[in-house]
């Protein structure tokens, strides 16, 4: 640490950096990358406009930092379901299904009930519509490895091939049923007569999502007999 750097100044710099990332995540998702100015980002983050270049090298670097934040956030969530798990080859059908259940529960708890999930989904949807290096980071950092891991668990639970088209589609369907509740949040609340989607509502979604997954896995197992 240089003589001019102190824990306090480092902490302030880290706070500014995170504020800029969160502001970019929100504004890029809401307005698009081209529709958002660095001045708007700095204002929302209560930061000096020059801090964007200082911390990220510019607006594009900030977009990549927002993508890295998404990767780390989702990795943390899925690690709580996957963490400490045995090698896939040693996982029993029951253990695999339990890990899938835990993953569904974690995904719903985050995707449906946590406010920041909306900002992440908006950002990712923007990137999916016009792919950039940020999407590449999100895909290689979390989409592909998490999907592959879930495919392996699905195979262990059902006896199907992990990389078959059917398995990969099944896992996408499982994830899609969760994501829908975030993308169509306003419509879901209106149709369900919910004022909000909090822990109680999320628990109801988790229950049905787990029932759906259990029914599919049971049917696939039966088909293997």
Distance, in Å, from the CA atom of 106 to the CA atom of 17, rounded to the nearest integer, reads: 27
Residue 9, pLDDT > 70, answer no
DSSP the chain: --TT--HHHHHHHHHHHHHHHHHHHHHHHHH-STT--HHHHHHHHT--THHHHHHHSSHHHHHHHHHHHHHHHHHHHHHHHHTTPPPGGG--HHHHHHHHHHHHHHHHHHHHH-THHHHHHHHHHHHHHS--HHHHHHIIIIIHHHHHHHHHHHHHHHSS-TTSHHHHHHHHHHHHHHHHHHHTHHHHHHHHT-S---HHHHHHHHHHHHHHHHHHHHHHHHHH-
Task: Give residues with Cβ within 8 angstroms of 142, minimum separation 6.
Answer: 70, 71, 74, 75, 78
What tokens were used for 100? Answer: 């899938």
Q: Residue 1: which pLDDT band, with cuts at 50, 70 and 90?
A: very low
For residue 79, the tally of other CB atoms under 10 A from its CB is 13
Where is pLDDT greater, at 83 or 106? 106
pLDDT at 201: 94
Residue scoring higher pLDDT (111 or 88): 111
- Count the alpha carbons within 13 Å of 180 in the hemisphere toward its beta carbon: 11
Q: Is the pLDDT of residue 62 over 60?
A: yes
pLDDT value, residue 87: 58
pLDDT digits (tens, 9 = 90+) for 93-149: 999 999 999 999 999 989 888 888 999 999 999 999 999 999 999 999 999 999 999
pLDDT at 183: 92
pLDDT at 116: 83
For residue 82, name the pLDDT band (cuts at 50, 70, 90): confident
**pLDDT bracket for residue 221 (50, 70, 90):** confident
On the question of pLDDT at 54 being above 60, the answer is yes
Mean of the pLDDT values across residues 180-203?
A: 94
């Amino acid at each position: 640490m240089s003589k001019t750097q102190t824990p306090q100044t480092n902490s302030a710099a880290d706070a500014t950096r995170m504020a800029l990332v969160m502001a970019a995540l929100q504004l890029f998702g809401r307005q698009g990358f081209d529709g958002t100015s660095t001045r708007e980002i700095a204002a929302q983050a209560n930061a000096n406009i020059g801090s964007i270049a200082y911390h990220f090298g510019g607006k594009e670097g900030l977009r990549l930092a927002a993508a890295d934040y998404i990767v780390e956030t989702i990795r943390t969530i899925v690690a709580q379901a996957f963490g400490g798990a045995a090698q896939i080859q040693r996982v029993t059908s029951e253990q695999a299904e339990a890990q899938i259940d835990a993953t569904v529960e974690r995904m719903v708890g985050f995707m449906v009930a946590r406010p920041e999930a909306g900002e992440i989904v908006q950002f990712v949807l923007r990137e999916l519509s016009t792919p950039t290096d940020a999407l590449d980071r999100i895909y290689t950092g979390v989409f592909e490895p998490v999907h592959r891991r879930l495919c392996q668990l699905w195979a262990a639970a059902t006896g199907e091939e992990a990389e078959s088209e059917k398995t990969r589609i099944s896992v996408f369907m499982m994830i899609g049923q969760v994501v829908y509740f975030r993308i169509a949040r306003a419509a879901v609340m209106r149709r369900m007569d919910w004022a909000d989607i909090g822990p109680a509502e999320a628990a109801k979604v988790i229950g049905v999502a787990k029932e759906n997954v259990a029914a599919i896995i049971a049917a696939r197992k039966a088909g293997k007999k």
